[in-house]
Structure 1
Amino acid sequence: MDTYEYLDTPDARELRRLEAVRRYSLVDAPAEDAYDRIAFVAATIFDTPIATVSLVEQDRVWLAACQGLTGVREVGKEPGLCASVIAQDDTYVVSDAVRDPRTLEHPLVRGDLGLRFYAAAPIRTHDGYRLGTVNVIDNRPRTATPRQLKALEHLAAMVADELELRLSVIRNAAGRATPAG
């Protein structure tokens, strides 16, 4: 039984989500090629200079992969674009951040990065937790096509599959492999 199963408050749901993030032992881990490839493909599909695979932790966003930003592995959670994405099931699109009320005052929009376009799909685990995002970023406004957004959703699903493989390896290494069902 889940420690917080009897509670269905926003705080309890967030605690369960954070437990799900941590069970994969990816936050603070060295970069892995599988996630780098997914970020590269996302940037290529959208022709954007930046793409990331992110995990939203309690007070930060861990970048498991980052194309286009050198040396960045984490950013603050607030005021979070990634945190906004994991609060919903659908892809999240900002076509022109300086005109979108959700992002007008965001530091990435007003700061040196000059974010204008952002699209992200939530990474959903097989048991329903939204852990983070696969996202693309550009410093010019643009419109995403339905095909591009569908591809982003597929890439997020591929990250979830990679996470499950990672968990299986972790469990096998610890001698706690679960029987196939």
Structure 2
Amino acid sequence: MTGGNSYEYLDTAEAAERRRLAAVRRYVLVDQPVEDAYDRIAFLAGTIFDTPIATVSLVEQDRVWLAACQGLTGVRQVGREPGLCASVIAQDDTYVVTDAAVDPRTLEHPLVRGELGLRFYAAAPIRTHDGYRLGTVNVIDSRPRTATPRQLKALQHLASMVSDELELRLSVIRNAANAKQ
């Protein structure tokens, strides 16, 4: 690294993660009941890809909160590590695993090796209007598959719709707080 040391980088990365977590928390969605808007988006994602599982997730400090989940009963959170959703929020583009059983990024992942038998995973990051990547809209299948460019674009649009819903939610929260003053 030129112009600095690894401690400066760690401080910067940690500060960026603290700001991202503050952005996740400002929407007051983690640990809340499923809301119809997010449930509909997960349903549409699963329908577009014809997958048995689709979620809207928010990546917290030590867990992934499922704001909506189609196809998994009773699951509202999973551990962050080793996390597919956490990998998605580290980048701007959609993240696609066509066959997790042979993809080096996922070979040892518990969802691949475990009971779920994940083989296909596609996710688009949910980006706030001020640039934070909070979580994902993702689809999961137990069989390998290839996503079309149109499906991936639809997934990006669904992630943008989640971001818009979050901004509406934040507006309501702020208006309620102002009304109390």
Whole-Å separation in 1 of the counterparts to 2:112 and 2:143: 11
Q: Which digits, 9 at most, give the CA deviation of each residue in 1:2-59, with x for residues without a partner?
A: xxxxx97100000000000000000001110000000000000000000000000000
> What TM-score does the superposition give when structure 1 sets the normalisation length?
0.93
Whole-Å separation in 1 of the counterparts to 2:96 and 2:11: 29
Percent of matched pairs sharing the same residue = 87
Unmatched tracts of structure 1, length 5 or more: 1-6
Unmatched tracts of structure 2, length 5 or more: 1-9
Q: Give the secondary structure class of the aligned counterpart of 1:112.
A: coil
Specify the code of the residue in structure 1 equivalent to 2:98: S
Specify the code of the residue in structure 2 equivalent to 1:134: V
Specify the code of the residue in structure 1 equivalent to 2:129: H
Whole-Å separation in 2 of the counterparts to 1:125 and 1:10: 19
4+ residue runs over 2 A deviation: none
Specify the code of the residue in structure 2 equivalent to 1:52: T
The residue correspondences of 1:114-129 to structure 2 (distance < 5 A) are 114-129=117-132
- The CA RMSD measured in Å over matched residues stands at 1.3
- 1:3 alignment counterpart: none
Q: Which has the higher helix share?
A: 2
CA positional deviation for 1:176: 6.9
Q: Give the secondary structure class of the aligned counterpart of 1:174.
A: helix
> What TM-score does the superposition give when structure 2 sets the normalisation length?
0.93
The answer on 1:95 being equivalent to 2:94 is no
- 1:133 alignment counterpart: 136
Q: Which digits, 9 at most, give the CA deviation of each residue in 1:94-151, with x for residues without a partner?
A: 0000000000000000000000000000000000000000000000000000000000
